[in-house]
Amino acid sequence: MNRRTKSPAVSILILVFVLGAFSTVFSQIRGIELYNKLRSEQRKLITFEGDRNVRWTPDGDAYIVRREGTFIKLDPQTGVETNLFDDEILITAFNDLMGTSQTRLPFTRFDFIEDGKKIRFYRSNRTEVFFYDLSTHELQYFKVRPPERGVRFASYEEVFSPDYKYTAYGDNYNLYLRDLEKDEVTALTTEGHEDLRNGYPDWVYAEEFAQFYCFWWSPDSKKIAFMQFDESPVPGYRGTGDCACRIDRIQACPVVSAVVCDIAVDNCRFRLGPVHCASFAGLAGGNIAVYEFG
């Protein structure tokens, strides 16, 4: 019986091929070296077609894109494009109000408010806020505090009352009211501290519910409902800082709504109450109706 044997030359060729394949794999650039190489070569690995970063109009009938310093409204069914704003009227209103000579829209981003009846835009690191009525073309301007970094890296700003006469904001775990016409600030609460937060959530509300503000204006602008968080019964653990974006800072963080090793820990206690804003007298506690929660 004849036995077939592979030629030594064939075996050598197979071995050379396998070793060559392995050497190719292991010689490939990976990780940070590959990233730096592609950046140095200015390689463009991803390309896009069409409009990017589109947003829909409040009625959902068209989407908005920004081109050449203006905003375009595009009908997805017909492809018809129209200007979202009358740029000339808006620019004129801005120049008349601010005493400037802008030739283009004074903003690159904006928000629809009041069901699309108005827009809001900011300038100067969000310390200047503008409200523009799309039907009457009235433009309002207010100077506000710079945004502050808060829970879970959120940016906290002053919240306007529906009639635009007041703002409310949290500072150092207390709630404040600003009269915009008089530029006067009144403390609505004064007893706040790190374990007693007025209108300022603990990390669980921000992390799990995406709720960063814990106070709300009434529709008539006469009251503010706010939540008060009492974290004094909540044990803490050592961990990296939540708000400072630094991994080298260690601080005590509260453990909320947790069961660790079958041992239940106390949860944060909170209260909910409206503040009457019609009268400034005695606001820091006198006109607060409180509802207790477990």
In tens digits, the chain (294 residues) has pLDDT values of 455 555 666 666 666 565 555 555 556 777 788 878 888 887 776 777 776 677 899 999 999 999 889 999 999 999 999 999 999 999 999 999 999 999 999 999 999 999 999 999 999 988 999 999 999 999 999 999 888 877 767 778 899 999 999 999 988 889 899 998 888 999 988 888 888 888 888 777 777 777 788 888 888 888 888 888 887 777 765 555 544 444 444 444 444 433 232 233 455 555 555 554 443 333 334 455 444 444
Which residues share a beta bridge with 224?
217, 275
Q: Confirm whether 43 is domain-assigned.
A: no
Find the DSSP H helices in the chain. 8-27, 31-40, 87-98, 203-209
**CA-based radius of gyration for the chain:** 30
**268 within a domain of the structure (yes/no):** no
Q: Are 158 and 169 in contact (CB under 8 A)?
A: yes
The reported pLDDT for the residue numbered 291 is 44
Task: Assess if residue 71 is contained within a domain.
Answer: yes
Does 255 map to a domain?
no
Distance between CA atoms of 49 and 46, rounded to whole angstroms?
Answer: 10
- Exposure of 279 by Cβ count < 10 A (0-12 exposed, 13-18 middle, 19+ buried)? exposed
Which residues face 120 on adjacent strands? Answer: 111, 131
Closest to 175 in 3D by CA, of 184, 185, 165, 160 = 185
pTM for the predicted model, two decimal places: 0.65
Q: How far apart are CA 43 and CA 6, in angstroms?
A: 47
Dihedral sign, Cα of residue 12, residue 14, residue 18, residue 23: positive
Give the position of tokens 């503040």: 275
How many Å apart are CA 210 and CA 152, to the nearest integer? 9
At residue 151's C-alpha, the angle toward residues 126 and 200, to 5°, is: 90
Residue 58 lies in a domain: yes
Its domain, for residue 62, covers 53-84
In a domain, 78, yes or no: yes
Q: What secondary structure letter does DSSP report for 268?
A: P
Q: How many domains does the chain have?
A: 1
69 domain residue, yes or no: yes
Closest CA to 64 of 107, 83, 104, 56: 56
Residue 65 included in any domain: yes
